[in-house]
Amino acid sequence: MTTPVFTVDKSNPYAGVISYTDEDHTLGNTLRHYLLQHPNVPLAAYRMTHPLKNEMTVSVVTDNTKSVPEVVNETLDQLVILCEDLQSQLSRQLSI
């Protein structure tokens, strides 16, 4: 994954768009789902910019108590913990 690019909404400092290259619906839908579970995020959406481009954008609006990068980082940290837990459970089940 390349470094994501964050663009703040000029009309609302608690809204913004994060652009990813070399990512697809797998990260987009998962990130959107977990962002919507965050208590400070009333709106989150993602889209693929074009079928022939390998770009995805995630739009996020917060409730004005936390910034967009803050809630995205918290959500990504939560996803890392979730994936590590899943890997641990699978390893135990498969006796690896």
Percent of all residues in the chain with a pLDDT value above 90, rounded to a whole number: 78
Q: Write down the pTM of the prediction.
A: 0.87
State in Å, rounded, how far the first CA of the chain is from the last one.
Answer: 27
Whether residue 6 contacts residue 18, with contact meaning beta carbons closer than 8 Å, is answered with yes
| C-alpha–C-alpha distance, residues 86 and 15, integer Å | 31
Confidence band of 82 (pLDDT split at 50, 70, 90): very high
Mean pLDDT of the chain: 92
Level-2 CATH architecture, domain 5-94 = 2-Layer Sandwich (3.30)
Task: Convert the pLDDT of each residue in 30-49 to its tens digit.
Answer: 999 999 999 999 999 999 98
pLDDT value for 32? 97
- Expressed in percent and rounded to 5, the helix, strand and coil fractions of the chain are 40, 30, 30
